């Protein structure tokens, strides 16, 4: 067995070990023997939240993988500058879309409440839309191929999403409906929806999302190895993630709804239609790759 395959097997083994260790660490919380505290520590009256720490770790992990994939292709400057753009655009987009979706609540509050991230409220769809927009602007400004740049970004972004989903666990949010399945998750009464206040165990949809996103990551990496068409990885991600999110939404009980589906499901349908349309336009055309 050559060195490359040995390194690949080593990475797989490491992820399996980390997954097992993570599962063992979460077991007491799932059973209700321990209660999750969203605040990790207080420093002179300033709380350090697990959610913020998790998001920081997600961004850092994505950035490190991004640099490893791109320094040789883009150079040191682009590999750092684009990430700065993405973090700023992504944060603004995530908060802006959340506020717009919750406008009935925010309209009655002072305008600066929209800036209060301590109260929570970020939309992954807002972050993705803003991130794509930032990438397009950056690529046009520096004459870089847009679809090839998006292809390079996809795997690190998915890794960030996988890690970021742990933030939902620490915040005791975005869980599913009541269940008696063996992997059910105990939720403290203060975090339960009013209609399920007497229920103790719920679907751990954050975990479902992590598993689903891991599958999406494996799919896009397979496409990346086999496809020679710029944009194939990006469009595959949009399609696969939209399907994953559409399915996960059926388990959640806190999603805003419009008619028979949640807003996230409608967004997933729109994303699938757009991705399929673009794939038909670009079919058979090999744009310049980085």
Rounded CA separation 124/80 (Å) = 22
Residue with tokens 């870089």: 144
Rounded CA separation 278/290 (Å) = 20
**Global confidence as pTM:** 0.89
pLDDT digits (tens), the chain, 290 positions: 556 667 667 777 777 787 788 878 888 988 988 888 888 888 887 888 898 899 999 999 999 999 999 888 888 888 899 999 999 999 898 888 877 877 666 666 666 666 666 656 778 888 999 999 999 999 999 999 999 999 999 999 999 999 999 999 998 988 999 999 999 999 999 999 889 999 999 999 999 999 999 999 999 999 999 988 889 999 999 999 999 999 999 999 888 888 889 999 999 999 999 999 988 887 655 665 66
pLDDT of residue 181: 93
For the four alpha carbons of 38, 27, 211 and 193, in that order, the dihedral sign comes to negative
3-class DSSP assignment, residue 176: strand
Contact present, 192 and 170 (Cβ < 8 Å): no
């Amino acid at each position: 067995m050559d060195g490359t395959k040995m390194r690949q097997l080593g990475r797989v083994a490491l992820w399996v070990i980390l997954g097992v260790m993570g599962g063992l660490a979460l077991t007491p919380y799932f059973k209700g023997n321990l209660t999750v505290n969203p605040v990790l520590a207080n420093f002179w009256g300033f709380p350090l939240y697990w959610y913020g720490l998790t998001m920081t770790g997600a961004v850092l992990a994505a950035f490190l993988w991004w640099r490893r994939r791109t320094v040789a292709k883009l150079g040191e400057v682009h590999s750092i500058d684009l990430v700065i753009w993405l973090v700023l655009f992504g944060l603004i987009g995530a908060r802006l879309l959340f506020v717009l979706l919750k406008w009935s609540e925010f309209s009655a509050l002072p305008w600066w409440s929209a800036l209060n991230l301590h109260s929570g409220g970020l939309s992954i769809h807002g972050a993705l839309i803003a991130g794509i927009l930032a990438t397009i602007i950056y690529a046009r400004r520096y004459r870089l191929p847009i679809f090839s740049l998006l292809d390079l970004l996809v795997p690190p972004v998915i890794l960030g999403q996988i890690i970021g989903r742990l933030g939902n666990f620490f915040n005791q949010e975005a869980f599913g409906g009541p269940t008696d399945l063996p992997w059910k998750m105990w939720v403290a009464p203060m975090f339960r929806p009013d209609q399920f206040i007497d229920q103790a165990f719920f679907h751990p949809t954050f975990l479902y999302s992590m598993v689903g996103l891991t599958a999406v990551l494996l799919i896009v990496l397979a496409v990346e190895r086999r496809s020679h068409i710029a944009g194939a990885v990006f469009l595959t991600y949009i399609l696969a993630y939209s399907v994953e999110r559409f399915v996960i939404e059926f388990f959640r009980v806190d999603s805003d709804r419009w008619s028979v589906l949640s807003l996230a499901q409608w967004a997933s349908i729109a994303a699938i239609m757009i991705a399929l349309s673009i794939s038909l336009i670009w079919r058979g055309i090999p744009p310049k790759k980085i």
